[in-house]
Structure 1
Amino acid sequence: MRGSFITYMTIDIEGFRKHIEENYSEFGVNKVQEILRLVFEISKRERIPYEDIFDAAPENGKEGSHRFMHLKQYLLQRRFPSFSKEERRKHGLFKDLSIEPEYRASIKKSERIIPKRFFIEEAVSKTALVDRLRKKFKTAEFASISTYKDHVKNRVYSLKDFNNRLDEFYIVQEKYDFFIECPCSNNSVPCGYNTMNLGIGCGFDCAYCFLQGYINSPGILIQANIEDYFACFKRTGKDIRVGTGQFTDSLVFDHITEYSPLLVEFFRGYPKSIFEFKTKSDNVDLLFTVKPSENIMVSWTLNPQIIIDNVEFGTNSLEERLQAAARCVDYGYKVGFHFDPIIVYDKWKDDYECVVNRLFDLIDDKRIGWISLGALRMTAKLKQVIENRFPQTNILDGEFLIGYDEKLRYSQRQRDIIYSTMKSFIRAKSKSVHLYLCMEDQGLCSACDINTGDMQKV
């Protein structure tokens, strides 16, 4: 993939379709869809008109399936130039191609989110969180609802609702899923992470985010009964690695909930457990209102600035994230870093090496709890969502195949290069920092000599 992450050319999908139907009239609906998808991706990837692609196509075969197979093989070779013939069979291209302008995301600058409207479940109307919200956001609208489930049960959701999710905050009572194990892909090596389900929905707009694939809510959900989470944890009596960064950014709403001091104080009492805040923000001020603890980690997702500018919309810059990490270290917290997802483009090696070097320029490796590595991956459904919300992004232009977990992934050969390269950058700066792979199978962990299973002992 090229170094730029934005395609500014206009791609006429219906023009593609009309050309195929007129010039390949013997193709049925499914074959038209396959060719349409391939030509669309080649045109976007190479930034050329679709006519140029057809003009270069071989003339083998005059009609029917023979003609179709020759055209398809030519297009597959052009779309996946580095893949072997076997790998091309696992391309996983979705036949359906439908991009609706009304679903396009509205890109906002990085700034603190100020809620406009709260819907409060009756069961949590007297909680400390709701009391704080009423005092803090006096210009916001507050409405009472019986339950979130009843309030939304007859609504039908689309990507338009997801785009407008920050217009509505739902303050709810959690009854069941206080803590859940990380939803690891089938056959992936588990890292021992557990999720404290204290918030659903994120204030950022990262083009690759898996949360886009779950369009089942009109807004952001924040659980108000944090004391019940603490009570549940006390009952389980487990020593675990746990955090809040799975279904939301751990700190993006911290100025709203003011939960971080409560979490630090609670988990201070469980020194054999590790609690992790995971974020792309610099919203760390409340962490400095309480005494730090050695079992509390604040972690940042890192990427080169070109990716942050063009893919991780609304997030803080790389330098802002690293400076926030340095502040946390100076105050006494341990920190962690997640290079996930790593995205391949022309200068990716140079740019990621610069990020690693800057990280270790600012942070003492003795204060780093761990660094994780993960390559860009997605479900087929998520790919369609990305195409609609971010039609100009080029992160989908890479060469993906269906992986061991049915997700679209870079080839194993490419991922081996990614992880081995990143490991060499990190080990040049620190021989001792914990490294692990996120959502990868044992074969690749072994090939890269990165023992992800050890994280279950950390």
Structure 2
Amino acid sequence: MSRVAGNERGRPCRRRKRSVSESMKSMALKPPGRIVIEADVAHSPLVETLRRNLPHAGVSVVDRVQEKAVHDPDVLEVVRFRGRFLKSCPGTRQYNCCGYRILHFGLQCSLDCTYCILQAYLNQPNLRLFGNTDDLFEELAAEIDTHPGQLYRIGTGEFTDSLLLDPWTGFSRPTVRFFASRANAVLELKTKTDYIGNLRDLDHRGHTIVAWSLNAESVRWREETKSATLRQRFDAARTCAELGYALAFHFDPMLEFPRWKEEYGETLARLFDAVDPARVVWISLGAFRFMPELKSSIRSRHPDSRITCGEFIPGLDGKMRYFRDIRVEMYSFMVDRIRAFDPELCTYLCMEGNDIWRDAFGFTPAERGGLGAMLDRAVLQRMKVGATF
């Protein structure tokens, strides 16, 4: 595999060796102070773990948790989920979709990023976990094992952060172990935290990707104030690489501002100074887009944010998007920089059409077999998973 080892200033990358046991200063969110549990799942393994790890939290057991409860940032709800745990990514036919599958294990996020779509997308205000995890793994096994010839790319970070509550739930442990036992599936844990403690001593067998959402430094401290710093995320990624995990990174949403080229270029330089590009399975890019109804939520909940004040136009999916030339410039810049570090690294656009792809990449996904096929090949080539597919 050919690779350019250098940063955007042409200097060689300096990757300082660190041991897995090297301590990191972790972000520290306040743990839940009160747990409201539905009686149907009061004795589930997840609840038992929460009781053990949150001994000082007040616990209430109820018949059913209210669907329209008043928002309380101190509350964690644990309910029996009665729907399908495995869902398709909510893409639209107007744009290229990657065929990603979502493992639905909870709702909401307390990181409170200004741009978060969950503010307008969900009507349940509190953090919520699904306590019937036995049903979750049973459904997951039935789907994956019934189609042994299909490669599944499955993630948990769509409706909540994959690792936000992991210090107390430990949910990553049985999930990683499950995927380690399936030859035709890989798990992606997507996070803005550095809560990787439960991943340290697992036999993941190369079937788990640990992924971070990244942004420009000024965006991080203005719009993602409760999340881990970029340095904490890079330190966590370096540690996960040392533990043998594959990595992925998502620059989504990218925001346009006067120094965006300098800052996004610096983030890429820091990223590849921290980790070897060969450990990265894919990088996604997505410019800021939002449902029109999200604008009022952002202005109400985050009055100091100016992210909705740019030049936007309705897209084919009804979401407000930056003008086409802005998006093309941003994507082209990032693609060129990433290719300088590793020209073979799978980089893709999240929810964009063929015209944008051709201008930014010089090809469309269909010319490479489709976006899903591109990501499947990245799994096969970089993770050495599912060699029979």
Q: Match of 1:254, as an amino acid?
A: D
Residue of structure 2 in register with 1:125 after alignment:
42
Paired residue for 1:422? Answer: 334
- How big is the shift at 1:175? 2.3
State the partner residue of 2:128.
Answer: 221
| 1:351-375 Cα deviation digits (max 9, x unpaired) | 1111111111111111101000000
Deviation at 1:451, TM superposition (A): 4.8
The reply to whether residue 398 of structure 1 matches residue 338 of structure 2 is no
Deviates more, 1:230-239 or 1:426-435: 230-239
Residue matched to 1:315? 227
How many angstroms apart in 1 are the aligned matches of 2:95 and 2:302?
29
Gapped regions of structure 1 (runs ≥ 5): 1-108
* Amino acid corresponding to residue 445 of structure 1 in structure 2: W
Q: State the 1:389 CA deviation.
A: 0.7
Alignment of 1:377-396 (within 5 A): 377-396=289-308
Bigger Rg over Cα: 1
Cα distance in 1 between the residues matched to 2:36 and 2:228? 28
Match of 2:267 among 355, 360, 377: 355
The structure 1 segments of at least 4 consecutive aligned residues displaced by more than 6 Å after TM superposition are none
The residue correspondences of 1:236-247 to structure 2 (distance < 5 A) are 236-237=143-144, 238=147, 239-247=151-159
Shift of residue 273, structure 1, vs aligned partner:
1.2
Whether the 8 Å contact between 1:436 and 1:455 is mirrored in structure 2 is no
2:60 corresponds to: 143
Aligned pairs, number: 340
* Closer, same or farther: CA 218–303 of 1 in aligned 2, 3 Å: closer
Name the aligned partner's letter for residue 426 of structure 1. I
How far apart, CA to CA, are the structure 1 residues paired with 2:46 and 2:186? 25
* 2-structure distance, mates of 1:215, 1:266: 29
State the shift of 1:302 in Å.
0.6
How many Å separate the matches in 2 of 1:360 and 1:278?
18
Alignment correspondent of 2:51? 134
Instruction: Choose from 169, 172, 175 the match for 1:260.
Output: 172
Alpha carbons 2:106, 2:159 under 8 Å: kept:
yes
Instruction: Tell me whether 1:454 sits opposite 2:366 in the alignment.
Output: no
- Compute the TM-score of the two structures, normalised by the length of structure 2: 0.84
The one of 161, 169, 192 aligned to 2:76: 169
- For residues 297-333 of structure 1, the C-alpha deviation after alignment (integer angstroms, 9 at most, x for no partner) is 0000111211110001200111110110000001110
Q: Which residue of 1 aligns with 2:92?
A: 185
Query: Is 2:36–2:62's contact at 8 Å kept on the other side of the alignment?
Result: yes
The alignment status of 1:235 with 2:152, answered yes or no, reads no
Q: How does 1:272-351 map to 2 (within 5 A)?
A: 272-351=184-263
Q: Which of 365, 379, 393 pairs up with 2:277?
A: 365
CA separation in 2, counterparts of 1:169 and 1:349? 40
Contact 1:279-1:301 within 8 A present in 2 as well: yes
Residue deviations 1:403-430, cap 9 Å, x none?
1211110011111111111101101111
Aligned-residue CA RMSD (Å): 1.6
Shift of the 205–184 alpha-carbon distance from structure 1 to 2, 3 Å rule, reads same
Partner of 1:54: none
1:444 aligns with 2:356: yes
Could you say which structure has the higher helix fraction? 1
Residue pair 1:298, 1:334 contacting (<8 A) in 2 also: yes
Secondary structure of residue in 1 paired with 2:96: coil
Instruction: Kindly state the Cα deviation for residue 217 of structure 1 after the two structures are TM-superposed.
Output: 1.6
Instruction: Read off the aligned partner of 1:405 and give its amino acid letter.
Output: D
- Equivalent residue letter for 2:52: K
Shift of 1:141: 1.1
Q: Compute the displacement of 1:186 (Å).
A: 4.0
- The 1:286–1:432 alpha-carbon spacing in structure 2 relative to 1, beyond 3 Å, is same
Paired with 1:175 and 1:113, the residues of 2 have a C-alpha distance of 29
Alignment of 1:19-38 (within 5 A): none
Percentage identity across paired residues of the two chains? 34
> What TM-score do the two structures reach when normalised by structure 1?
0.72
